[in-house]
Structures are given as C-alpha cells and as structure tokens.
Amino acid sequence: MKPTIYDVAEKAGVSIATVSYVMNNQKVGKKSREKVLKAMEELNYKPSLLASALTGKRTTTIGFLLPDLANPFVAEMARRVEDRAHERGFNVVICSTDSDKEKEALYTSLLRQKRVDGFIFAGDLKNVDVVKELVGEQTPVVLLAVSHPAVSVNSVTVDDFTGGYQVASHLISLGHKRIAVIAEEAISSRERIRGYKHALQDQGIEIDEDLIVTSDSSFEDGERLADELLNTSHPPTAIFACNDILAIGSFLAARKKNRSIPGDLSVAGFDNTLLSKSSDPPLTIVEQPIQDMCSQAVDLLIEEIEGKSTRKQRIVLLPDLIIRQSTGPCRF
C-alpha cells in the first residue's frame, strides 16, 4: 500500500499532527521537521489530496465547461486556461457540452459532487439556471467569452458588438453594401450582428434580413449557407462570418463556384485561430485576445475561490480588427 501519514509519523517517531504541521508549514521544532522530512523522503510519501480535501481544504481542481473541444478556437482557450490554472496550482477538468442544456446540467452536477473549487463556462451557455444555482450556493463561477445579463457573476468577454461594428465598417469602407452575415447559434453572435446592423445604419445602408443566416458552426454548414447566399438573384459582395470555421466554409463555397477572394467576394471572420492564418488568402478577422481573456478568467475565479475577491466584475476587452487579404474593394 501507499504510505500514509501514519507511516511517516511512525518512521519519524512523532505524531501525525506534527507530520501534518510540517506539510502545511506550521511552526515545528527544527529537529522534528528534519526527521519528518527525512521520513517522507525515504518513504516517497505523497499526501492524499482526497483526504485533505475531505477535511475542508480545496480540491485545487476547477471545472471547465465549453461547447466543443474540437473547435480550434475553443481548444486554444482550453490550453490557455489550463496553463494559467497550472501556474496557480490548479488542475482543470474539461467537459464539452455541445451547447446542450442537459449536458451542462449533468456535468456541472457531477463536478460538484467531486467538489471542484469552481467553474468556468466558456463560449456559450444554454442553461442559465445551472449558473444561477451555482451562484446561489456560493460556488465560484466565471463566464468566459460569453456573458449573461440574467446572472450576477464574474465574466470576461470581448466586446462582440464592437467587433461586429468594426468588421461591417471595414467592409462598408471598401464599398460593400450587400454584406451577408453567417452567424452561429450563440449569444456572442447576436451581439456581433447588433454591431453589424448598427454600422450599416450609421452609413445609411438598408438592412436586409435575408442576408443574415444562422448555422451550426461547421465547415459544411458554412459552405452550404454561403453557397445559398451566392445563389440568390441579388447575392452579397461580402460575407461576415461569425467565426473562423464559417469563414473557411465560405471560402470553400466560393472556390467551388470559381469566385476569387477577395476579387469576387470579400470574406471576414472572427476569432483568429490557426485556420485564419493558414488560409489562402489569409483571413481578415476580428481578433479575440484569447490569452489575456483566459488568464483573467482564471485569476478572477481563483480570487473568488480564495475568498479574496471583493465585488463581482464584468471585464470587457476590446477586440482588434486585423486586416489581411480576404477583404478588398467592392467591384460591383
């Protein structure tokens, strides 16, 4: 069997309390401390974090619920969250919810039974009640890259409205008037669309609701929707895709139709993942400061876990429009 605190105590000729004290850096006589350290060393003793957590200490584990780890943008967030969490001594258990209410509830419940110290919900949130319940029971929660007016929790987001506004303005400045939007079924997209509409209005361009479509955020669906848009009698000259995957989907549709980008069609995306850097031409996008967002989210959560946090806050970072080669002057 693995050595326990009793084994160490016995070997060191002290009581288990003393062993516990040295582990937790409490006042202990120099002699005793050394004996204990030596015994731990010799036995290759590793304290059980389970037992320790049972007595009221933290589990130093946080639950991270996200829509889909296979999505590159989400995966990158996960990596950043993980990094920051590790830096601060926490582990992360990741659960992909597929933006499904039941899964959100199920995984949250399970992780609570495992006594995770807190939760981060990223990218989307279908089941607000889950978060409300968590908050009601004083469980630390932070929302990342998504926020919700109905709950009072810490959140870190990018200003989606501004992002949408920036993209639309950029496209308008290039002379585009018929600008389509391929959105995802998520809260963030709604804000981006709002920004987009606002920009059009500011420039006195009429909004055509037929140009705004919603997808399930896959290459295939992006391609299909872009194709449909291009097949209409009065097709758009530019597409604003609400994430990189949908943008690339649009690329595929354009390619099949032999439309050149940005010659025949301008395409802009959102996120700035690997996909946007590797595409041909490179994608004009709104960049989300992933690293920054994730670090802040983790820090916020840990402050709350450690009870140091004062008041709830909503951190909104400003996105950057990065103009690359997928957008160009309107030729029509």
Interacting residue ranges for DNA, rule: CB under 7 A: 1-2, 4-6, 13-18, 20-21, 23-24, 26-29, 31-33, 47-48, 51-52, 54-57
The one-letter code for the residue type at 113 is Q
φ/ψ (deg, to 5) at 235:
-70, 160
- Separation between Cα atoms, residue 22 and residue 34, nearest integer Å: 9
Nearer to DNA, 48 or 152 (CB): 48
155 contacts 188 by C-beta, under 8 angstroms: no
Alpha-carbon span 148 to 216, nearest angstrom:
21
Q: Read off the tokens for 68.
A: 């889909």
Evaluate the CA torsion angle 192, 197, 203, 207 in order and state its sign: positive
Q: Which does 24 bind (CB under 5 to 8 A by kind): DNA, a second copy, none?
A: DNA
d(CA 39, CA 62): 32
Question: Which listed option, a second copy, DNA, none, makes contact with residue 291 (CB within 5 to 8 Å by class)?
Answer: none
- 113 or 233, CB closer to a second copy? 113
What are the residues binding a second copy (CB under 8 A)? 2, 46-51, 53-54, 59, 61, 68-70, 72, 75-76, 78-79, 82-83, 86, 91-96, 107, 109-115, 137, 219, 245, 248, 251-252, 255, 274-275, 277-280
Q: How far is the CB of 77 from a second copy (least distance, A)?
A: 9
- Tell me whether residue 26 or residue 109 sits nearer to DNA (CB atom): 26
Q: Measured from the CB of residue 153, what is the shortest distance to a second copy in angstroms?
A: 20
Q: What is the dihedral of CA 60, 65, 66, 68, to 10 degrees?
A: 100
The Cα 165–Cα 161 span in angstroms is 6
Select 94 or 156, whichever has its Cβ closest to a second copy.
94
Task: Choose among a second copy, DNA, none what residue 279 binds, the Cβ cut-off being 5 to 8 Å by kind.
Answer: a second copy
**Contact of residue 93 among a second copy, DNA, none (CB under 5-8 Å per partner type):** a second copy
User: Between 115 and 331, whose beta carbon lies closer to a second copy?
Assistant: 115
CA distances from 135 to 118, 119, 150, 187, 312 (A): 10, 10, 12, 20, 11
Picked from DNA, a second copy, none, the partner binding residue 120 (CB below 5 to 8 A depending on kind) is none
From the list DNA, a second copy, none, which binds 72 (C-beta under 5 to 8 Å, kind-based)?
a second copy
Strand-pair partners of 158: 317
Q: Which two tokens stand for residue 90?
A: 């926490």
Residue 114, contacted partner among DNA, a second copy, none, CB below 5-8 A by kind: a second copy
Residue closest to 144 by CA, chosen among 20, 289, 38 = 289
Q: Compare residues 255 and 331 and give the one whose CB is closer to a second copy.
A: 255
Of the two residues 89 and 204, which places its CB atom closer to a second copy in the complex?
Answer: 89
